[in-house]
């Protein structure tokens, strides 16, 4: 699969992940890809779209925080290795 850009946001708890994902989907033409839960209940949400749309979505949640955001990033033109990592997270989530 080909991706123009990935957006990542790390929050605490699945409820906050849903809220942040909803915010991003409402403000930009992006798509939800998957999420991954880390130790301590941290959830890393992955979205995709054009670089400008992903950037707008990430900036929106950083500027209009409804919860603590531990980390966020935009990865433009992700490498094949990065795509493979996201696809592993996606496949692991599909098994649940």
Q: What is the pTM of this model?
A: 0.91
pLDDT higher than 80, residue 5: yes
Tokens linked to 4: 């123009």
Q: What's residue 48's pLDDT?
A: 97
What residue spans define the domains of the chain? 5-95
**Per-residue pLDDT at 12:** 97
Kindly report the CATH number that applies to the domain delimited by 5-95. 3.30.70.1710
How far apart (Å, rounded) are the C-alpha atoms in residues 53 and 89?
22
Q: H or E element: which one contains 34?
A: strand 30-37
3-state secondary structure of 65: coil
Q: What is the reported pLDDT for 1?
A: 67
Radius of gyration of the CA atoms of the chain, in A: 12
Report the pLDDT value the prediction gives residue 24, as an integer from 0 to 100. Answer: 98
Confidence label for 94 from pLDDT (cuts 50, 70 and 90): confident
Q: Tell me the pLDDT tens digit for each residue of 15-63.
A: 999 999 999 999 999 999 999 998 889 999 999 999 999 999 999 999 9
Distances (CA, A) of 61 to 7, 51, 66, 74: 11, 16, 8, 13
In three-state secondary structure terms, 28 is: coil
Residue 48: strand pairing partners: 6, 31
């Amino acid at each position: 699969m080909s991706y123009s850009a990935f957006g990542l946001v790390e929050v605490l708890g699945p409820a906050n992940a849903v809220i942040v994902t909803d915010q991003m989907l409402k403000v930009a033409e992006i798509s939800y890809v998957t999420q991954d839960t880390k130790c301590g209940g941290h959830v890393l949400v992955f979205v995709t779209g054009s670089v400008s749309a992903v950037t707008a979505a990430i900036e929106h949640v950083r500027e209009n925080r409804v919860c603590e955001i531990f980390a966020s990033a935009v990865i433009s033109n992700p490498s094949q290795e990065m795509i493979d990592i996201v696809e592993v997270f996606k496949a692991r989530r599909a098994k649940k």
